[in-house]
Amino acid sequence: MKDFGFTGGRPDPHTFPTEGLIAASEKALRKLGGDLVNYPGESGYRGLRELASMRFERREGVPLPIDNISITSGSMQALELVLGTLINPGDTVLTEEYTYGGTLGIMRHFKANIVGVPMDYIDGMNMDALEAKLAELKRQNIRPSFIYTTSNHQNPTGAILSLERRHRMLALAEEYDTRIVEDDCYGDIDFTSTPTPASLFKLDTSNRVIFIATFSKILGAGVRQGYFVAREPYWGQIHQNRWDGGTSALASAIVAEFFMEHLEVHLVKTNAAVGAKCRAVVETLEKHVSDLCTWTRPRGGLFLWIDLPETTDLNKLQELASAKGVGYSNGSAFHYASESVKAIRLAYAYCHVDDIPEGITYLCEAIRAAQVN
């Protein structure tokens, strides 16, 4: 049976640049040669840190401080290191009420008390709600360790934290003396020519923001190249918890060689391909379930969030959809407290564009058949 692949947040395999990476591998190996007998060191291959800085500058107009970048095995390791350092068991952390399940898993592993902040699907976390939560915690003498946010093309809703909200989040972090972990996993996946608002990291003037990014979503998760950017005292504290000897310099050098030459062209090409898939999903949903459901219309990222009618039998939906090879993620996987919600997340970049109408039509039929009265 066909697997339509709407489950995981993977990029488009058809635009994976195999040939370009073969050429980059040869260059990387010739450049590194015998240097590969050494450990990469705690902050990783310098060439990839330079590339990460350039990547940031392309969007934000200013480079990242190269000596504050640490290369990690995907951004998952960055999250594990950063969150593991900032969380002491029992600490309170704040996040959007729907967020990436992997981050929630790490927070739970380190025994954080997770407080979900209401959000909307367009502009992200609601700042009045954040202020109310912070004030309520203060009354209980609780200073949260940090606010975690995926500021651009959020997983799972596609929301982009507006510039006004970014300024307000920074002001609140200052007022309540807490920190911000900004996860920019999806910032470069944008189908429009409108720039996303300046990052919290760029806007920060009081060293409260730790920035996390990855190459998983613009290249592939299999390369396992991500990074965090932190200043002292966080830099030193985080590295005290790091024992892996550093991330593969060979993999880092291949990615650096490739993107030093092809970043712009690759992003234009992959964003066009992913954008077309997103539109195909939206068009098919509009055709079949506009009387039943509402959904987001992302301008970037890899995900679309569908609110289902309250009358949906979630088990039945899953059964019917999977019988047709249609997977998706249940909304509860993204809820800060794992509450069951009548919503699902679709990841649209992996499926072949020509298969999307068929797969989404099956999903729509399953949604209709899963209604109970």
| Interacting residue ranges for ligand PMP, rule: CB under 6 A | 9, 74-76, 100, 102, 150, 155, 183, 185, 214, 216, 221, 226
CB contact set of 130 (below 8 Å; sequence gap of 6+): 94, 117, 147, 169, 172
If the CB atoms of residues 85 and 216 are measured against ligand PMP, the closer one turns out to be 216
What is the distance, to the nearest Å, from the Cα of residue 96 to the centroid of all Cα atoms in its chain? 13
SS3 for 191? coil
Tell me how far, at minimum, the Cβ of 121 lies from ligand PMP, in Å: 16
Rounded (10°) angle between helices 249-289 and 356-369: 60
If the CB atoms of residues 64 and 320 are measured against ligand PMP, the closer one turns out to be 64
Using only the alpha carbons of the chain, give its radius of gyration.
21
Tell me how far, at minimum, the Cβ of 56 lies from ligand PMP, in Å: 16
- According to DSSP, the β-strands at 124-125 and 119-120 are antiparallel
Euclidean distance between CA atoms 159 and 151, whole angstroms: 8
If the CB atoms of residues 9 and 331 are measured against ligand PMP, the closer one turns out to be 9
Tell me how far, at minimum, the Cβ of 354 lies from ligand PMP, in Å: 25
Euclidean distance between CA atoms 59 and 120, whole angstroms: 25
Tell me how far, at minimum, the Cβ of 7 lies from ligand PMP, in Å: 11
If the CB atoms of residues 9 and 137 are measured against ligand PMP, the closer one turns out to be 9
Tell me how far, at minimum, the Cβ of 80 lies from ligand PMP, in Å: 9
Helices (H), the chain: 18-32, 46-60, 74-86, 101-109, 127-139, 163-175, 200-203, 234-240, 249-289, 314-323, 356-369
If the CB atoms of residues 80 and 257 are measured against ligand PMP, the closer one turns out to be 80
Nearest residue relative to ligand PMP (C-beta): 74
Tell me how far, at minimum, the Cβ of 227 lies from ligand PMP, in Å: 9
